């Protein structure tokens, strides 16, 4: 009997049964991989690769609006539902660009840095409502977004190849590498993890 109860406890802690998930960016890449396991809500991610001095005010506003402000306002809308559920878990998709500087993506990196700080504030303010917030910071992942970067700048492919060569895992990431971490953070077994920025990058930032 004791063993049965223990197994039941383990199953509940490792199960998403009965939970509802809202996945943004669910049409391709990382969002699509997550959506296959959970649920899907279409959105997008915006990146603009260029020298810092070449960014326009419109570029910066668009990047911040898409990558940061949308998450900010979506959380405001979702808070009543998350609170009512009695168990809320928010997982943002950040980037290692927010943890280690890379060329040509200063505005994108800044938007993800803002998301990292927002993660910590949400975790602090909403803990009383039993809502957790964490960010997953992917390394280089084989998605259309990465393809757009390599195609938009002359040295794009060389930069990506150089960064992969500095990755201890020795390979580029796959969307499923990221979706697995996101799914884990949604599980009850991760209930003591909040306010964290978790790099999933094959060891690149070390």
Active-site residue, selected from the candidate residues 55, 87, 104, 108: 108
What value, to the nearest 5°, has the Cα angle with vertex 201 and ends 22 and 60?
A: 65
Annotated active-site residue 108? The verdict is yes
Would you put residue 170 in left (φ > 0), alpha (ψ -120 to 50) or beta? left
List the end-to-end C-alpha distance of the chain, in Å, as a whole number.
46
Question: How far is the C-alpha of 41 from the C-alpha of 23, rounded, in Å?
Answer: 5
Phi, psi of 113 (to 5 degrees): -65, -40
Report helix angle 156-165 to 144-152, nearest 10.
Answer: 120
- Tell me the catalytic residues: 108
């Amino acid at each position: 009997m004791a063993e049965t109860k223990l197994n039941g406890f383990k199953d509940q802690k490792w199960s998403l049964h009965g939970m509802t998930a809202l996945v943004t960016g669910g049409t391709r890449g990382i969002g699509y991989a997550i959506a296959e396991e959970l649920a899907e809500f279409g959105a997008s991610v915006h990146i603009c690769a260029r020298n810092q001095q070449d960014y326009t005010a419109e570029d910066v506003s668009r990047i911040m609006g898409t990558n940061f402000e949308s998450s900010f306002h979506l959380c405001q809308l979702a808070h009543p539902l998350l609170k009512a559920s009695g168990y809320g878990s928010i997982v943002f998709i950040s980037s290692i660009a927010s943890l280690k500087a890379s060329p040509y993506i200063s505005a994108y990196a800044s938007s993800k840095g803002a998301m990292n700080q927002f993660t910590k504030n949400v975790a602090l303010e909403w803990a009383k409502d039993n809502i957790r917030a964490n960010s997953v910071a992917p390394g280089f992942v084989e998605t259309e977004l990465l393809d757009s970067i390599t195609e938009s700048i002359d040295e794009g492919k060389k930069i990506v190849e150089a960064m992969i060569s500095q990755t201890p895992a020795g390979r580029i990431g796959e969307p499923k590498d990221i979706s697995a971490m996101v799914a884990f953070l949604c599980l009850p077994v991760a209930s003591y993890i909040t306010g964290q920025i978790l790099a999933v990058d094959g060891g690149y930032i070390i």
